[in-house]
Structure 1
Amino acid sequence: MQPNLTQILEVIKLGEKLKHEMRHSWLSNGRQESVAEHTWRVSLMAVLIEPYLTQKIHTSKLLKMIIIHDLVEAEAGDIPAFDTLDNQRLKEQKASNEMKAIERIRDMLGSELGTELYELWLEFEQKETYEAKVANALDKLEAQIQHNEADLSTWLEIEHEMSFLLDKHVQFDPIMQQLKSLIEQEAEAKLVDGGVDVDAIKNKLYNPSHSS
């Protein structure tokens, strides 16, 4: 079967939008980060961590999953995680927008390729397979790494707390837990250096009944 290169080119052009779709993350030089830059480094992390994971993983599948996951933001835009934490309506709207976007990408490509990418995107969202859990964990960890590298003044207060809420994403694999611990330690050191009361944050998160 000959590929429809015209359809493939259209999706490649769609990907260009991720180069100027901005995330709520800033680089160490003070410039705002694009979605494309985030996705690239999540992919790099996958390549570097893959040999040390406790289970054998399909690397090609993992990389495809990471890359296609954020492609929907070329149409749906990027909504920071903290915006949907306590906003069910916005969370549902985000999910709806992204579903429409991946369906359009599937239809743009057509053929088995479109179906494959659509199913990989759904697999990531469901977070049930080992590859999907790794992809999700790396996605969350890269975001924290980027925060750690940015000036503390770019952090929102909610992001101080979110630095200590990564456990649920890495519990499935001890190597991912170790990586998370290193990243969390860097975040804590940055907050302490910036005069943030980390003990109060931890007390609020881990002992909410005793916080005031």
Structure 2
Amino acid sequence: MSDPLPGILAFLRAAEALKVRHRSGHTSDGAPESIAAHSWRLALAAIVLGDALGEHDRLRLLELCVLHDLGEAISGDVPAIHQRPDDGRAARERADLETLCAPLPAALRERLLARHDEYDAGATREAVLAKALDKIETILQHLQGDNGPDFDHGFNLGYARARTDADPLTVRLRAMLDEETRARSQTGDAPSPPPRPR
């Protein structure tokens, strides 16, 4: 049996690209948000909301949250306002993930690809939750980020509602964010940047 560690290190090196690939939104200090930062806070949301989400496999949910955008390390993110059902994005992300996972041992590679497919299909309770929390995190970042005066906060009011309506907890979270979004849409006020450590 060959040593799996060189392949795992090669995979981790390639996955670093997610740290430097950006999404369309910005952080509260105006910096472009990385895809990795989005995935991190999505996973954090899954951890801190775990009890409130009811019965689910926590490890599976975390894996889905961490892996859901990994294919974007190669081709990058497509902003929500530019996404279309027939844009080929899902197939491209799957192919990119296959490329990233190529150095991994076969069983591990197949597990990661299966998690991607599970998420993409919304095939399990955990996948449904991951998709809902993904949209919640995105809307939260849009509200929290310093996205400029021309940012269309009204877009968020209709964005991915079918995903966030899939669970009672995400319905409640969405209602809270929608209220903030409506207020932002009316005033156009940007959030105050957080205090910086000295």
Q: Give the TM-score range, shorter chain.
A: 0.7 to 0.9
Which of 170, 176, 184 aligns to 1:190? It is 184
Partner of 2:59: 60
Separation in 2 of the partners of 1:44 and 1:17? 20
TM normalised by structure 1 equals 0.82
Separation in 1 of the partners of 2:147 and 2:33? 15
Separation in 2 of the partners of 1:184 and 1:129? 27
Instruction: Give the superposition deviation at 1:155.
Output: 5.3
Separation in 2 of the partners of 1:152 and 1:5? 41
Partner of 1:208: none
1:14-163 aligned at under 5 Å gives the runs 14-54=14-54, 56-85=55-84, 88=86, 91-92=87-88, 94-151=89-146, 153=148, 156-157=151-152, 159-163=153-157
Separation in 1 of the partners of 2:53 and 2:167? 7
Instruction: Give the superposition deviation at 1:164.
Output: 3.1
Separation in 1 of the partners of 2:62 and 2:168? 21
Deviation sequence 1:135-182 (CA, Å, 0-9, x none): 11111111110110123526543x522333342112221111111111
Residue aligned with 2:49, SS: helix
Partner of 2:193: none
Instruction: Give the superposition deviation at 1:3.
Output: 5.8
Q: Which amino acid aligns with 1:24?
A: S
**Which runs of 5 or more residues in structure 2 are unaligned?**
190-198
Partner of 1:207: none
Q: 1:193 to 1:135 in 2, by over 3 A?
A: same
Separation in 2 of the partners of 1:151 and 1:114? 38
Q: Are residue 181 (structure 1) and residue 175 (structure 2) matched?
A: yes
Partner of 2:194: none
Residue aligned with 2:158, SS: coil
Contact 1:105-1:114 at 8 Å conserved across structures = no
Contact 2:136-2:164 at 8 Å conserved across structures = no
Q: 1:69 to 1:77 in 2, by over 3 A?
A: same
Q: Which amino acid aligns with 1:29?
A: D
How many residues end up aligned between the 2 structures? 189
Separation in 1 of the partners of 2:126 and 2:77? 23
Separation in 1 of the partners of 2:32 and 2:94? 26
Separation in 2 of the partners of 1:5 and 1:180? 42
**Which runs of 5 or more residues in structure 1 are unaligned?**
196-212
* Structure 1, 101-110 or 24-33: larger mean CA deviation: 101-110
By relative contact order (CA 8 Å, sep 6+), the higher-ranking structure is 2
Partner of 1:13: 13
